[in-house]
Amino acid sequence: MKAWGVLWIVLGLSLWPKPGTASSLPMVMDSIIQALEELEQKVLVTEAGVTASAWILSAKNYSSHNSLHQHLLLKAPSQNTTEPDTHSLSPELQALISEVAQHDVRDGQEYGVVLAPDGSTVAVKPLLVGLEAGLQGRSVANLSSDCLDTCDTGAIWPGLKDAFTNVSSPDAGATLPNDKAKTPTTVDRLLAVTLAGDLGLTFLHRSQTWSPPGLGIEGCWDQLSAPRVFTLLDHKASRLTMAFLNGALDGALLGAHLSRIPKPHPPLSRLLREYYGAGVDGDPAFRSNFRRQNGVALTSAPTLAQQVWEALVLLQKLEPGHPRLQNMSQKQLAQVATFATKEFTEAFLGCPAIHPRCRWGAAPYRGHPTPLRLPLGLLYVHHTYVPAPPCTTFQSCAADMRSMQRFHQNVRGWADIGYSFVVGSDGYVYQGRGWHWVGAHTLGYNSRGFGVAFVGNYTGSLPSEAALNTVRDVLPSCAIRAGLLRPDYKLFGHRQLGKTDCPGNALFNLLRTWPHFTVVEN
Ligand SMILES: *[C@@H]1O[C@H](CO)[C@@H](O)[C@H](O)[C@H]1NC(C)=O
Ligand SMILES: *[C@@H]1O[C@H](CO)[C@@H](O)[C@H](O)[C@H]1NC(C)=O
Ligand SMILES: *[C@@H]1O[C@H](CO)[C@@H](O)[C@H](O)[C@H]1NC(C)=O
Ligand SMILES: *[C@@H]1O[C@H](CO)[C@@H](O)[C@H](O)[C@H]1NC(C)=O
Ligand SMILES: *[C@@H]1O[C@H](CO)[C@@H](O)[C@H](O)[C@H]1NC(C)=O
Ligand SMILES: *[C@@H]1O[C@H](CO)[C@@H](O)[C@H](O)[C@H]1NC(C)=O
């Protein structure tokens, strides 16, 4: 109740500078953590971490916010909290808070996003919304009791249950409880405010044509040392950018964590520092590097589809005049929910996290690249050998990418780094020449397959299980789904096609046991 009280009292207070007042702080997660820390230490001494996220969320006029948040997150508090002293916050932090309190995509740029230590870009708003929902306790809202006279609770749409039997997540076997499958009844607050509402609304917008809304578009920072401006790689991106999906998923994961652990809650600054803290040491279930794997464990596709559906049904009640929701039947909303969840599950959760070239500071391609004729039928596995140590942080993997590119361009005289993709031990794949351009990795076979290299020397040891899983399962299945790789692709170790020990004895011996591994006939 206390958290809600403070949240409510700051609504409508014009505490923050006008939008447009640029902060001088770099748009990095550390700046956000610093702001939370100051809020926790100076402003909200008595409330500690409990209300810091709510404070930031209140930086902007809530009436412009989505009604799901208002309805599910900001439930009527008692209003006798005293007005806290905000003047102790530095103007830089106030300006930063004002900037990140909204997420927006406009004219090819994305606002309200920061660069995290793992190299991912994260939208702050859905992250904070998830934290706040978690602090308020994970709960379900009873949709029936919110129901207006006109609302139809009798609709039955059994299709929702069957739509996911083929989704490739470990949870896919989970079935919807029968009573839930029949009619929307309860909204999981945490999922609704982080992922479900936005997923549903974005796909609703496109449901006329069924064209994908550019889910998970990446972007480039103006600079990596002190980033300020984030430009999207596709100007037609929907609001469900990669940064938004990252932030929403982090919000859902951290919110679920907060709702599980006993009170008092740890300061949010400490929680975020641990979650985003550089590297992959510590609990993999609590690292931004592995958010997608953890997202698969957080919710099954049928559950998420149910929640997207229910969020849309609730929105329809909350905003009867909503142009996109008007006159949509519950069955139509269920179809949108099914499609949106399938895209999210397969194209985001089911794909590896790939850092685009600009993220690791790639030099430009020299000359004109040759396009591949897709889909390709071959996948070649390499190890880099040098660098020999596996890279486990964004900093070190990105530095390895730059040094390999320098070597390939300046010493070998190639146009670019040779590999199509490079896999770190930090939970990330780094884009080399990518899906569309012929590489220089497997002499004589470059135009027929993708070359994927593990960073490290795998003569006597193996890459991390996460990295192996990426190359064995996630990358190929994602590429097959996208029409880049043939479903019957053949997998080779580099040594099968050239005079080399690559990809190392230990790794090659493992490769022989993988699906799609193919023996070369002599
Ligand atoms: C509001 O004030 C009353 C009495 O002054 C107090 O008992 C109550 O705890 C306060 N509520 C909150 C949310 O602070
Ligand atoms: C919030 O915005 C609404 C309209 O969008 C406006 O009527 C209201 O005065 C604003 N409130 C504050 C505190 O700025
Ligand atoms: C939801 O509310 C309706 C009407 O108020 C009630 O009949 C129903 O039992 C409630 N369901 C749950 C799961 O609480
Ligand atoms: C799902 O899998 C079954 C067999 O397991 C197959 O017959 C069916 O075509 C698949 N559906 C889709 C949509 O891929
Ligand atoms: C919804 O239906 C009403 C009445 O049937 C109609 O007046 C209105 O134009 C419709 N709205 C949309 C967006 O189709
Ligand atoms: C690679 O590993 C093998 C076996 O562990 C070792 O003998 C070799 O020196 C290593 N090469 C490099 C470049 O580190």
Q: Are 318 and 68 in contact (CB under 8 A)?
A: yes
DSSP strand pairing (219-221 vs 104-106): unpaired
Tell me the CATH number at 381: 3.40.80.10
Domain boundary among 315, 350, 385: 350
Domain boundary among 292, 322, 350: 350
Instruction: Report yes or no on 251 lying in a domain.
Output: yes
Instruction: Report yes or no on 13 lying in a domain.
Output: no
Closest listed residue to residue 187, CA positions, set 128, 216, 132, 145: 145
Instruction: Report yes or no on 81 lying in a domain.
Output: no
Give the rounded distance of the alpha carbon of 264 from its chain centre.
Answer: 28
Distances 49 to 54, 83, 252 between C-alpha atoms, Å: 10, 17, 18
Q: Which atom of ligand 6 is nearest to the CA of 461?
A: 5
Q: Are 430 and 368 in contact (CB under 8 A)?
A: no
Clarify whether residues 379 and 493 are in a common domain: yes
Check if 326 has its Cβ closer than 6 Å to any atom of ligand 5. Answer: yes
Clarify whether residues 225 and 305 are in a common domain: yes
Clarify whether residues 329 and 389 are in a common domain: no
Clarify whether residues 321 and 293 are in a common domain: yes
Clarify whether residues 446 and 344 are in a common domain: no
Clarify whether residues 341 and 227 are in a common domain: yes
Which DSSP helix (H) or strand (E) runs through 355? strand 354-355
Please state, as a whole number, how many other Cβ atoms lie within 10 Å of the Cβ of residue 286.
15
Domain boundary among 316, 350, 384: 350
Pocket test for ligand 5, best of 150, 322, 326 (most atoms within 8 A of CB): 326
CA dihedral 188, 189, 192, 193 (to 10 degrees): -170
Provide the residue range defining the domain that includes 429: 357-511
Q: How far apart are CA 51 and CA 32, in angstroms?
A: 15
Q: How far apart are CA 128 and CA 51, in angstroms?
A: 11
Ligand 6, atom 12, residue with closest C-alpha: 388
CA dihedral 434, 436, 438, 444 (to 10 degrees): 100
Closest listed residue to residue 427, CA positions, set 298, 300, 282: 282
Clarify whether residues 210 and 328 are in a common domain: yes
Instruction: Report yes or no on 95 lying in a domain.
Output: no
Clarify whether residues 177 and 234 are in a common domain: yes
CA of 359 to the centre of ligand 4 (A): 38
Q: Report the domain count for the chain.
A: 2
For 58, phi and psi rounded to 5 degrees?
-85, 5
Ligand 5, atom 5, residue with closest C-alpha: 327
Q: Are 240 and 247 in contact (CB under 8 A)?
A: no
Instruction: Report yes or no on 106 lying in a domain.
Output: yes
Instruction: Report yes or no on 205 lying in a domain.
Output: yes
CA of 457 to the centre of ligand 6 (A): 6
Clarify whether residues 158 and 293 are in a common domain: yes
Q: What is the DSSP string of 22-59?
A: --SS-SBHHHHHHHHHHIIIII-TTTGGGGHHHHHHTT
Check if 82 has its Cβ closer than 6 Å to any atom of ligand 2. Answer: no
CA of 44 to the centre of ligand 1 (A): 17
CA of 171 to the centre of ligand 4 (A): 17
CA angle 86, 273, 25 (to 5 degrees): 50
Four-residue CA torsion sign, 241, 243, 245, 247? negative
DSSP strand pairing (113-115 vs 121-123): antiparallel
407-414 contacts, C-beta under 8 A, 24 or more apart: 408/440, 409/363, 409/366, 412/440, 414/440
Supply the pLDDT for residue 51: 58
Instruction: Report yes or no on 219 lying in a domain.
Output: yes
Supply the pLDDT for residue 298: 93
Clarify whether residues 421 and 337 are in a common domain: no
- The residue type at 51: T
Average pLDDT by stretches of 10, the chain with 522 residues: 35 40 83 86 53 62 61 50 55 83 91 96 94 80 48 33 32 35 68 93 68 80 95 90 97 94 86 86 89 94 93 89 87 91 94 98 96 98 97 96 98 97 97 97 96 98 97 97 97 97 98 97 74
Please state, as a whole number, how many other Cβ atoms lie within 10 Å of the Cβ of residue 262.
5
Q: How far apart are CA 243 and CA 507, in angstroms?
A: 33
> What contacts 358, CB < 8 A, 6 or more positions away?
220, 221
Clarify whether residues 324 and 381 are in a common domain: no
Please state, as a whole number, how many other Cβ atoms lie within 10 Å of the Cβ of residue 103.
22
Clarify whether residues 280 and 170 are in a common domain: yes
DSSP strand pairing (230-232 vs 429-431): unpaired
CA of 193 to the centre of ligand 5 (A): 28
Q: Which atom of ligand 2 is nearest to the CA of 14?
A: 13
Closest listed residue to residue 458, CA positions, set 510, 515, 398, 514: 510
Instruction: Report yes or no on 292 lying in a domain.
Output: yes
Closest listed residue to residue 334, CA positions, set 460, 214, 208, 160: 160
Q: Using CB atoms within 10 A of its CB, is residue 45 exposed (0-12), middle (13-18) or buried (19+)?
A: exposed
Q: How far apart are CA 321 and CA 344, in angstroms?
A: 27
Distances 275 to 55, 241, 255, 291, 460 between C-alpha atoms, Å: 21, 21, 12, 10, 32
Q: How far apart are CA 160 and CA 177, in angstroms?
A: 11
